[in-house]
């Protein structure tokens, strides 16, 4: 069934408007070997390379060379022109390594020392990965992305460290990508609310809806007892996404520069939410590779004014259930 839209693989991902609008579709991967799945399913690149898997079930942290080999393998598969967004380590909470060094007994691990917070505390861990990413940058269109950013200071600290690592490589005469593009995930409500400030610091955003939903609704993404609250269609989530898109558009206009906004949570792999997300102004999605043909099918049937109407109406609704049934109804009529 998933392969029903396989024939769309080499067809462009464009809307059905009189002047079709291109929508960029990228793949999410966790292992270097999965890069090939992205190409099989027609992705234009890797929008989210989750690097935690280099650390899981290992007796020691990966070395710089192990990082580099994994990134080189992905780039070897994708070639030098397709974008590959490498997300720095997002350990902690639901992703634990036996050697992570994270506080294992935190009472609230999702609100604790996870992800970039851990990396900024354990600089060696962070530096090893950043060195490998900067070096791998010479092999293709590599970009780096920081997860779980919740304040502008945190983002600035990451950028400062990245610059320190560049100087270190420079000093040691090791070749690296000087103008590596830097992005931040927007997956904490504070980051969405502060998107205009964060936008000035980076080249792109990627909205991580899995965490954004969890933190906005204070509902654990893995807890079935509160699964009723956890919905991508919640109007509070939609308002935050809209804020992020608007902040990015403003930055693009005022800063007169390219500024991409991607969506890389599970939400962007669900055909149901595609018209809504396109209507909110999003033009780039990164999803599990096997979902890409279905998403492309929806995009190729969609017209921008129709998507904008969907977003307008959804934003005026008061509950996730209202939005969900409206979206279901719309998609049924559309396809």
x-or-dash pattern for Mg ion, window 104-123, by CB under 5 A?
--------------------
Tokens 């935190």 -> residue: 106
Instruction: Output 15 or 262, the one with its CB closest to Mg ion.
Output: 262
> How far is 232 from 214, CA to CA, in rounded Å?
10
Nearest approach, Cβ of residue 209 and ligand PEP (Å): 5
Does residue 234 bind ligand PEP (CB under 6 A)? no
170 is in an annotated binding site: no
CB contact at 8 A, 88 and 144 = yes
CB contact at 8 A, 33 and 318 = no
Does residue 208 bind Mg ion (CB under 5 A)? yes
- Return the closest-CA partner of residue 89 out of 137, 124, 135, 55: 55
Q: Where are the beta strands (DSSP E) in the chain?
A: 24-29, 46-50, 83-87, 141-146, 181-186, 204-207, 260-263, 284-287
For residue 112, CA distances in Å to 60, 61, 89, 145 come to 23, 21, 15, 20
187 is in an annotated binding site: yes
312 is in an annotated binding site: no
Instruction: Output 77 or 209, the one with its CB closest to ligand PEP.
Output: 209
Strand partners, 260: 204
Strand partners, 145: 87, 183
Residues of span 160-189 touching ligand PEP by CB under 6 A: 187
**Catalytic residue set:** 264
Residues of span 35-64 touching ligand PEP by CB under 6 A: 48, 50
Instruction: Output 77 or 184, the one with its CB closest to Mg ion.
Output: 184
Instruction: Output 13 or 209, the one with its CB closest to Mg ion.
Output: 209
x-or-dash pattern for ligand PEP, window 186-215, by CB under 6 A?
-x--------------------xxxx----
105 is in an annotated binding site: no
Q: How many CB atoms lie within 10 A of CB 165?
A: 20
Q: Binding residue for Mg ion (CB under 5 A) from 211, 251, 266, 270? A: 211
CA torsion, points 211, 216, 220, 226, in degrees to nearest 10?
-140
x-or-dash pattern for ligand PEP, window 256-285, by CB under 6 A?
--------xx--------------------
List contacts with ligand PEP (CB under 6 A): 48, 50, 90, 187, 208-211, 264-265
Binding-site residues for Mg(2+), in ranges, read: 187, 211
């Amino acid at each position: 069934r998933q392969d029903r839209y396989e024939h769309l693989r080499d067809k462009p991902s464009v809307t059905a408007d009189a002047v079709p609008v291109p929508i960029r579709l990228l793949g999410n991967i966790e292992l270097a070997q999965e890069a090939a799945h992205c190409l099989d399913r027609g992705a234009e690149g890797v929008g989210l390379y989750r690097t935690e898997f280099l650390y899981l079930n290992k007796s020691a942290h990966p070395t710089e060379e192990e990082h580099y080999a994994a990134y080189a393998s992905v780039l070897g598969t994708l070639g030098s022109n397709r974008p590959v967004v490498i997300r720095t380590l997002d350990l902690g909470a639901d992703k634990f390594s036996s050697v992570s060094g994270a506080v294992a007994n935190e009472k609230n691990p999702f609100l604790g020392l996870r992800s970039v917070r851990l990396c900024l505390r354990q600089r060696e861990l962070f530096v090893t990965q950043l060195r490998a990413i900067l070096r791998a940058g010479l092999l293709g269109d590599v970009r780096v992305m920081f997860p779980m950013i919740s304040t502008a200071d945190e983002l600035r600290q990451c950028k400062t460290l990245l610059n320190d690592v560049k100087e270190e490589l420079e000093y040691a005469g090791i070749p690296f990508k000087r103008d590596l593009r830097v992005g931040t995930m927007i997956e904490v409500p504070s980051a969405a609310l502060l998107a205009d400030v964060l936008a000035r610091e980076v080249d792109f955003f990627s909205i991580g809806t899995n965490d954004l939903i969890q933190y906005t609704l204070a509902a654990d993404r893995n807890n079935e007892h509160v699964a009723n609250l956890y919905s991508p269609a919640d109007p509070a989530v939609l308002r935050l996404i809209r804020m992020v898109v608007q902040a990015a558009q403003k930055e693009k206009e005022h800063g007169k520069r390219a500024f991409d906004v991607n969506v890389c949570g599970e939400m962007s792999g669900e055909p149901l939410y595609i018209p809504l997300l396109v209507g909110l102004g999003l033009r780039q999605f990164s999803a599990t590779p096997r979902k890409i043909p279905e998403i492309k099918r929806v995009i190729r049937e969609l017209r921008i004014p129709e998507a904008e109407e969907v977003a307008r109406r959804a934003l005026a609704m008061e509950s996730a259930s209202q939005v969900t049934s409206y979206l279901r109804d719309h998609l049924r009529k559309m396809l």
